[in-house]
Structure 1
Amino acid sequence: MMSALRRSLPRIPSVWKPVRSQQTWTPIRHFSGSPIPRASWGFVGLGQMGYPMARNLRAKIPATDSMTIYDINESATSQFVEEANGAGAGASVTIAKSLQDVSRDSDTVITMLPQPKHVQAVYEEFIAGGLDNTTPRLFIDCSTIDVKTSLEVGSAIRVLGHDFVDAPVSGGVVGATAATLTFMLGASNAVVGKAQPILEKMGKRVIHMGEPGTGIVGKLANNYLLAMNNLATAEAMNFGIKLGLDAKTLASLINCSTGKCWPSEVNNPVPGVIEGAPSSRGYQGGFGVSLMAKDLKLAIAAAELADAKLVLAEPAQKLYEGAEAHDDCKGRDFSVVYKYLQVADK
């Protein structure tokens, strides 16, 4: 499927001209008065996920290294620098004035962005800045976007002599904070060894899914299943409770039976069933319902590329989008679909 998709990609704009292929990958090293080498790191996107990921990365790279950060939210970058300074020892952190500063000043660049359009725009800026092709760089995109955009961006970077991998994550804000994320890596065998040690500084597991683009496919397949499990759990709990069952008793039954799943056991959508779950905190925190609606849309688009039928996708997408648009549900954790089942009936 990947090879067929690559053949269908639009031709790369003329501004992205190929260069002679590089035989080896060597990080850019900067030297001061001492013989200690310094590697430079770039991180773009300090949102709910990106911020703790960047913080964990800084904590695990040598103090002799440097880190350049960028986000349109200036308060996030300022807070990051203040926190880094307060933490004492560690890599020095600089706020980039532009995206082009990040790509020019970094050996390795990590991006964590909300939407495909943001990824496209950021990498266009990187390329427009004139990437130095004498020393190959490594670009790691951890965003959850569509397969086609990821392949287009990756092709544009690689044709300039640099490496690009897709490495979306699973584990949410909790995993990002605790550095226990799972990364689904789409990369050629030659690049896996470069990317994996870096990702392990921000997470617990790195699963090489295959060639570029397959990391995105793995993430979307997982989130499609999660969306269905969450919705099915909400519906099962809803009708069981309405027919007189105690919520905790029903959840206990499900979690020792064949219906057990992550939404029933860890992120139960019924308030009061799981202490600390978003549903028990007014559906605050967690994985936003708008993000799940987005991921469902991306999964549907990915399935269409391979002519794979998703029977449950359309009704589920409508339900998540309905919850996202409802005043009592928007901006909440995706388990809020349980609440939406109540308010939508009124």
Structure 2
Amino acid sequence: MSGGVVGAQAGTLTFMLGAHSKHGGLIKFRIRPLLERMGTKVLHLGGQGAGLAGKLTNNYLLAVSNIATAEAMNLGQRCGLDPKTLAELINGASGRCWSSEINNPVAGISPGAPAEKGYDGGFAIELMKKDLGLAIEESNRVKARTQLGTPSMGVYDQVAAMEPGKDFSVVYKWLDSQSP
């Protein structure tokens, strides 16, 4: 599943399933209605293992886009832009993503996001490191070229050492503290 604590509380989770096609009726008539009580999307991605592949692929992108969002917010503010106006620009333009809109790493932008609570709650940085590591392993196994995974893991390693147990969006706080 995807959507984190915020998605669970809002009932907007996305579920990714993998099962043999012979189980299509079971998924459609028994499993899907149960999962739709907790989320808005239930996707059958293919055979056994496809749900996990979808989860790792999604979280790979999330790990990288979270760092990029934190960097962009830090850059814009250091250029003198108001963080709320900057977020409005990004979320109304081509830079929009889940990390900028729903889980913005800057306090005062996304109500209910972990940044509003000192980066407590949410998706722990250790869990993001685990998922990113698994995605990197899988990309190596299937020989998919991924250039940003390893450098992103380096960032999360450093952040986790300084901010253990915090939401992975705490990378923003780390970036800001590292700036000269």
TM-score by length of 1: 0.48
What is the identity, as a one-letter code, of the residue corresponding to 2:2? Answer: S
- Classify 1:273/1:181 alpha carbon distance in 2 versus 1 (closer, same or farther; 3 Å): closer
Q: Give 1:241's aligned amino acid.
A: Q
Contact 1:283 1:332 in 2 (8 A): yes
Query: 1:255 matched to which residue of 2?
Result: 91
> What is the aligned partner in structure 2 of residue 324 from structure 1?
160
Aligned equivalent of 1:334, options 158, 164, 168? 168
- 8 Å contact from structure 1 (residues 320, 337) kept in 2: yes
Whether 1:198 and 2:38 are equivalent positions in the alignment is no
In structure 1, how many angstroms separate the alpha carbons of the residues matched to 2:121 and 2:44?
Answer: 29
The one-letter amino acid of 1:340's match is W
In structure 1, how many angstroms separate the alpha carbons of the residues matched to 2:88 and 2:10? 28
Structure 2 counterpart of 1:318, which letter? G
Distance 1:251 1:176 in 2: 24
Q: Which has the larger radius of gyration?
A: 1
What is the TM-score with the length of structure 2 in the denominator? 0.90
Distance in 2 between residues matched to 1:269 and 1:178, nearest whole Å: 19
Say if 1:178 and 1:255 are closer, same or farther in 2 by CA, change over 3 A.
closer
| 2-structure distance, mates of 1:325, 1:273 | 26
Quick one: distance in 1 between partners of 2:117 and 2:172?
Answer: 14
Deviation at 1:198, TM superposition (A): 2.6
Tell me if structure 2 keeps the 8 A contact 1:187–1:211.
yes
Quick one: which amino acid aligns to residue 140 of structure 2? E
Contact 1:172 1:286 in 2 (8 A): yes
Instruction: Spell out the pairing of 1:200-279 with structure 2 (5 A cutoff).
Output: 200-202=33-35, 203-204=38-39, 205-279=41-115
Within a 5 Å distance, the mapping from 1:12-27 to structure 2 comes to none
Cα shift at 1:287: 1.0
Say whether residues 1:299 and 2:131 are aligned partners: no
Q: Distance in 1 between matches of 2:32 and 2:115?
A: 31
Instruction: Give the AA of the match of 1:216.
Output: L
Conserved? CA contact 1:183–1:199, under 8 Å: no
Gaps in structure 2 of 5+ consecutive residues: none
SS in 1 for 2:34: coil
**CA-based RMSD:** 1.7
Matched residues, percent identical? 52
Deviation at 1:175, TM superposition (A): 3.3
CA contact (8 A) 2:17 2:45 kept: yes
In structure 1, what is the equivalent of residue 18 of structure 2?
Answer: 186
CA contact (8 A) 1:185 1:215 kept: yes
Q: Tell me which amino acid in the other structure corresponds to 2:51.
A: G
Give the conservation status (yes or no) of the 8 Å contact 2:6–2:112: no
Q: Structure 1 216/321 Cα, relative in aligned 2: closer, same or farther at 3 Å?
A: same
Aligned to 1:313: 149
- Structure 2 residue aligned with 1:285, among 121, 146, 162? 121
Taking the aligned partners of 1:182 and 1:275, their CA distance within structure 2 comes to 20
d(CA) in 2 for partners of 1:238, 1:246: 11
Residue type of the partner of 1:198?
A: I
- 1:193 offset after TM fit, Å? 2.3
Please show how residues 27-42 of structure 1 align to structure 2 within 5 Å. none
Deviation, 1:343, is 2.8
Any gaps of 5 or more consecutive residues in structure 1? 1-168
The structure with higher relative contact order (CA 8 Å, sep 6+) is: 2
- For residues 106-126 of structure 1, give each alpha carbon's deviation from its aligned partner in whole angstroms, at most 9, with x where no partner exists: xxxxxxxxxxxxxxxxxxxxx
Tell me: CA distance 1:181–1:192, structure 2 relative to 1, closer, same or farther (3 Å): farther
What is the SS of the residue equivalent to 1:201? Answer: helix
Deviation for aligned residue 1:182: 1.7
User: Is 2:5 the counterpart of 1:173?
Assistant: yes
